[in-house]
Amino acid sequence: MWGSGPHQRVALLLPLSGTTAGVGQALLNSAQMALFERTGSELVLQVYDTKGTPEGAVQAAGLALSQGVRLIIGPVFSPEVKAVAPQAHAVNVNVIAFTGDPATASGGVFVLGHQLRQQVERVTAFARSRGLAVFAALAPDNEYGRQAVAALRQTATALDGRITAVEFYDPATDPTPVVKRLARQKPFDAVLIPDTGQRLKNVAPLLPYFDIDVQETRLLGTQLWSTGDGHHEPATVGGWYAAPVSPDQARFAERYRQLFNAPPSAIASLAYDAVALAAVLAEGPAGPNFDSGVLTGEAGFAGVDGLFRLRPSGITERGLAVMEIKADGPPVLISPPPESFDHHGF
């Protein structure tokens, strides 16, 4: 427990034991960073172990609520969030969860995780603004791939674009026949490949092999392209992807390494932002206020990954940039994130 004062009690629900304890520890590290960097904060952060299970999360949330917390940060996993939501709703306590699963979002349950749909919308809208109108998709045959394709269909249609080819590949098998089938459906201006790492490196080179000219056909990706080493594949050079970009990301990563002698996990910044946000709201001019109306302020908040705001639906909206893969260096910014949510057309 850190801080003092009965009116600023906030629960942090993390898997600190069990098979996912490492995930929880990384988030706890970031949460501690956020609180320690707000010198003089009166926020009381009470940590509870969910054990990484719905049952553990229910027990942790019940104990937290019985001790008078006014906001719950966490849990991490979608089944945990679904399990604790009824308890929190029953006593009108809001939840800021770390999952990115939009199915868990609702009034009073906010999912802080990065949204795939927004990434596809951003890169597709940018492609349309550059004159690309005919789209294809080459996606893994899993929930992530299907959600990405659904977002592409919706966005392209809304922007008067067309989708002429969609193919799904089994991530565990050879994608060659699938790419060959896609190539027979040319021409198209852009191909969305929502994958990363070794799978992206396996799939992307097959496009030019089957005469899909990646100099003329733009490859599009999601935030996954910013992780792993798939963007070092020559076939992805010139490709575009959407991701959060902020100068605070490098500063956060460096501070984390200095304190914990390890790089931050991919979701570590979520815990930092959630606790920093709670600390700010605990120090409001009229006293601590964690009500939905305050959490969902239209202006949003500046976080490690840039601008974000919690929507009444429970989804977190983020200001995203578009990056381009380069052959001779790291990806470069070609369309910056919005400076505010007042004017953020893409």
Kindly report, residue by residue over 50-88, the tens digit of the pLDDT. 999 999 999 999 999 999 999 999 999 999 999 999 999
**What burial letters (b/e) apply to 285-300, b meaning 16+ CB within 10 Å?**
eeebbbeeeebbeeeb
Q: Is residue 186 located within the same domain as residue 326?
A: yes
Burial class of 262 by CB neighbour count within 10 A (0 to 12, 13 to 18, 19+): exposed
Average pLDDT, the chain: 92
Within 16-142, residue ranges assigned H as helices are 21-36, 54-66, 78-90, 116-129
Residue 167 above 80 pLDDT? yes
Tell me, what's the pLDDT at 43?
A: 87
Q: Is residue 327 located within the same domain as residue 216?
A: yes
Residue 170 lies in a domain: yes
Residue 344 lies in a domain: no
State which residues form the domain around 171: 116-243+320-335
3-class DSSP state for residue 294? Answer: helix
Mean pLDDT within 238-246? 95
In the beta sheet, which residues pair with residue 169? 140
Q: How sure is the predictor about 285, in pLDDT bands with cuts at 50, 70 and 90?
A: confident
Instruction: Provide the CATH number for the domain around residue 59.
Output: 3.40.50.2300
Number of domains in the chain: 2
**Alpha-carbon torsion, ordered 60, 66, 71, 73, to 10 deg:** -10
Whether 78 and 113 have beta carbons less than 8 Å apart is answered as no
- The proportion of the chain whose per-residue pLDDT surpasses 70, expressed as a percent, equals 95
Tell me, what's the pLDDT at 8?
A: 81
Q: Is residue 155 located within the same domain as residue 219?
A: yes
Q: Is residue 211 located within the same domain as residue 329?
A: yes
Residue 346 above 50 pLDDT? no
Residue 61 to residue 2: CA distance in whole angstroms: 18
141 φψ region: left (φ > 0), alpha (ψ -120 to 50), beta (else): beta
Residue 1 lies in a domain: no
pLDDT in tens, 5-48: 445 899 999 999 999 999 999 999 999 999 988 866 778 899 99
Q: Is residue 57 located within the same domain as residue 73?
A: yes
DSSP 211: T
Whether 16 and 47 have beta carbons less than 8 Å apart is answered as yes
3 φψ region: left (φ > 0), alpha (ψ -120 to 50), beta (else): left
Q: How sure is the predictor about 231, in pLDDT bands with cuts at 50, 70 and 90?
A: low
Q: Is residue 43 located within the same domain as residue 174?
A: no
Whole-model pTM over 0.75? yes
Residue 345 above 70 pLDDT? no
Tell me, what's the pLDDT at 150?
A: 98
Residue 346 lies in a domain: no
Q: Is residue 231 located within the same domain as residue 137?
A: yes
Residue 8 to residue 283: CA distance in whole angstroms: 9
Residue 73 lies in a domain: yes
Q: Is residue 90 located within the same domain as residue 239?
A: no
Q: How many helices (H) and strands (E) does the chain have?
A: 11, 15
Residues 6 or more apart in contact with residue 44 via CB below 8 angstroms: 1, 2, 3, 4, 5, 6, 8, 9, 10
DSSP 6: G
Residue 345 lies in a domain: no
Residue 340 lies in a domain: no
Tell me, what's the pLDDT at 227?
A: 80
